[in-house]
Amino acid sequence: MKHQFIKAAAASPDIRVADPAYNAQKIVEIIQAQAKKGTELLVFPELSLCGYTCGELFLQKQLLDGCLSALLKVAASTKDLRMLVYVGLPVMHGTKLYNCAAAVANGRVLGLIPKRYLPNFGEYYEKRYFAPAPDEASTVLFGGNAVPLDRELLIHDLSEPEISVGCEICEDLWTGESPSIRHAKHGAVVIVNLSASNEVVGKREYRHKLLAAQARKNICAYIYADAGEGESTSDMIFSGNNILYESDTLLSESLPFGAGLAEGQIDAGYLLHERMRNTSYEPLADGPFHGPQRVSCDFLTDGEPTLSVDPSPFVPHTEAARKEQAELILNLQAHALARRLSATNAKTAVIGVSGGLDSTLALLVACRAADLLKRPRGDVLAVTMPGFGTSLKTKNSATALMQALGVGIRTVNISQTVLRHFKDIGHDPENTDVTYENAQARYRTMVLMDLANETGGLVIGTGDLSELALGWCTYNGDHMSMYAVNASVPKTLVKHLVLAEAERLGGRAEVVLKSVLSTEISPELLPTDQEGNIAQRTEDIIGPYELHDFYLYHFLRRGDTPAKTLCLAELAFAGKYDRATLKKWLVLFYRRFFSQQFKRNCMPDGVKVGPISLSPRADWRMPSDASAALWIEEAENL
């Protein structure tokens, strides 16, 4: 799959107990159906060629021989496919019977992985029939070919050797020393589990907790195939609860007694990036390309990914999750600010309030911090500083919000002072260039700093993560503060935080906050139009923030290349932006991100609240003169 995506599935065939030929046919039918969908990795349940509930029949040579014949039939069905398939069967080797997973691809059996831990309690009695996986690997003559029998066997793709697959069987996962831990440390980025886990009350929930934890701590994808229809119901029932995880993110699930098929696309590139980024994750001493036996095959294709891509990776999908996240983030910001105010013995929190989104969020956080410290809201000094570009709407919104929140209010009109400054430096005020704009931003910062000195307070920064990423701030102007509460909050999330707080506060505050949310994003540094409306629209200049937040997330958090990012953006924003538009703003994103590092290298302190921070003291260290050539060249040539 392009960009290191793997199209995977776990399937529970409708089997007949002790009928390998029938079961093989059902499995082959599923393989053929999945091949039409482009599936590259397909996993079937434990002992799926004969059924988990065969009992004493496991000791019958007739059944064992039938399973081997059935396996050859399944292997033959993959001859002209690019697909790696795992099926389960009992295998006699020497004088011992093993519960095995067989890996098949390209028309051949690649290897056998025996189960290591055999449950022998409650309703399980596997030690009655099977031996645990031997410590040493061996070779089995199978269909005239030598096939490895090895509990640590890994399968990797010929074209992408860094992508390998490890396998464990049912109970192996539920133990404290799961084989998958070693598989992952030897480089397996995907773990498959062939399982026969009977359904009882509460077990599905436990599976999810176990799978999410295992996949997260091993930084891998986990494909869990569960036995389903056709197993004997003498004492147990199986539901076909198949589950796919990518780290701790649930990709797909077939509900108990449902379709018996879970399908999803695994981002192996992200998992490899995450392992490289996470220095606590240590491979075994012999390294990822030494140690266990490795067998190669062709199973990855060049097909384009077709997965559903979240266009707003920083914002939860459901209303309940959004509210829960908003409350957590607002608390993180407020407690961090309260601690800073307390530690510095600051008497006030000074904030420039423009009537826009970012300063509104900072003001809301400051009010929460004052409440936490049991101090009057009047200790929050909100300053409105109208200038050449201030619209009547934002000015009124700022004043109304201050009044609704009960904070201290100051108004300082900066227009005349900035005009005198232009005269001092010989700048024509009719020339509305970057000097015209930045002089206003820097003077506003000076006003706030002086008021903080006057009142014994701290200037609270209002700029957000998206502005820092793009450098959309005036150096030593709104770029600077004494504590930046919004520094790790992207613009797309700022909106949801303000909305959540509006709904929590209600009354007059809610009305004003919703008015702020409806206002166009603008620095308001250029003169208004004749009707006093905003003339400078940020997203007309630098592009939509929803795109830049998407690009930022995929660049920093997932380590995606420009080509992969554009591919995912086309899926995420299909029908809203065409490829040319997406590419245009992607190129601009890389240009601005690299060129504006000097602003981030001296940014003020600010609490990290989400997965990404651009603080040079925490998450992001980069020289200011680093070249963007590699990224821009790829993006421009897409």
**DSSP string over 35-99:** HHTT--EEE--TTTTT-TT-GGGGG-HHHHHHHHHHHHHHHHTTTTS--EEEEEEEEEETTEEEE
Neighbours of 601 (CB within 10 A): 16
In angstroms, rounded to a whole number, what is the distance separating the alpha carbons of residues 440 and 541? 19
Residue 534 has pLDDT above 80, yes or no: no
Backbone angles phi, psi at 262, to 5 degrees: -115, 130
Name the active-site residue from 115, 564, 583, 599. 115
In angstroms, rounded to a whole number, what is the distance separating the alpha carbons of residues 266 and 222? 9
For 133-155, the pLDDT digits (tens) are 999 999 988 767 889 999 999 99
- pLDDT attached to residue 535: 74
Q: Environment class of residue 217 by beta-carbon count within 10 Å: exposed (0-12), middle (13-18) or buried (19+)?
A: middle
Q: Is 437 a catalytic residue?
A: no
Q: Is 115 a catalytic residue?
A: yes
- pLDDT-based confidence at 102, cuts 50/70/90? very high
* Tokens, residue 603: 């940014």
DSSP letter, residue 391: -
CB hemisphere CA count around 271 (13 angstroms): 31
* Tokens, residue 459: 């200037």
- pLDDT attached to residue 403: 97
Average pLDDT over residues 185-205: 95
DSSP letter, residue 526: S
Please check whether residue 219 is in contact with residue 274, taking contact to mean a CB–CB distance below 8 angstroms. yes
Residue 553 has pLDDT above 70, yes or no: yes
Q: Comparing C-alpha atoms, which of 375, 328, 327 is closest to residue 349? A: 375
- CA angle 509/513/516 to nearest 5° reads 145
Name the active-site residue from 40, 46, 126, 467. 46
Residue 289 has pLDDT above 50, yes or no: no
Which H or E element spans position 191? strand 188-195
Q: Which domains does the chain have, with CATH numbers?
A: 2-297 (3.60.110.10), 319-636 (3.40.50.620)
Please check whether residue 64 is in contact with residue 31, taking contact to mean a CB–CB distance below 8 angstroms. no
Residue 224 has pLDDT above 90, yes or no: yes
What's the whole-number average pLDDT of the chain?
94
Name the active-site residue from 170, 220, 367, 473. 170
CB hemisphere CA count around 33 (13 angstroms): 12
In the chain, the amino acid numbered 335 is H
In angstroms, rounded to a whole number, what is the distance separating the alpha carbons of residues 594 and 635? 14
Please check whether residue 398 is in contact with residue 353, taking contact to mean a CB–CB distance below 8 angstroms. yes
Residue 286 has pLDDT above 60, yes or no: no
Residue 290 has pLDDT above 70, yes or no: no
Q: What is the pTM of this model?
A: 0.93
- pLDDT attached to residue 291: 61
Residue 288 has pLDDT above 70, yes or no: no
Among the residue ranges 43-47, 119-123, 379-383, 599-603, the one predicted with the least confidence is 119-123
Percent of the chain scoring above 90 in pLDDT: 89
Backbone angles phi, psi at 223, to 5 degrees: -110, 120
For 321-348, the pLDDT digits (tens) are 999 999 999 999 999 999 999 999 999 9
- pLDDT attached to residue 17: 97
For 429-462, the pLDDT digits (tens) are 999 999 999 999 999 999 999 999 999 999 999 9
- pLDDT attached to residue 285: 59
Average pLDDT over residues 549-553: 98
* Tokens, residue 433: 């260039």
DSSP letter, residue 304: P
Between the alpha carbon of residue 6 and those of residues 103, 108, 560, the distances in Å are: 17, 21, 15
Average pLDDT over residues 228-236: 92
Q: Environment class of residue 74 by beta-carbon count within 10 Å: exposed (0-12), middle (13-18) or buried (19+)?
A: buried
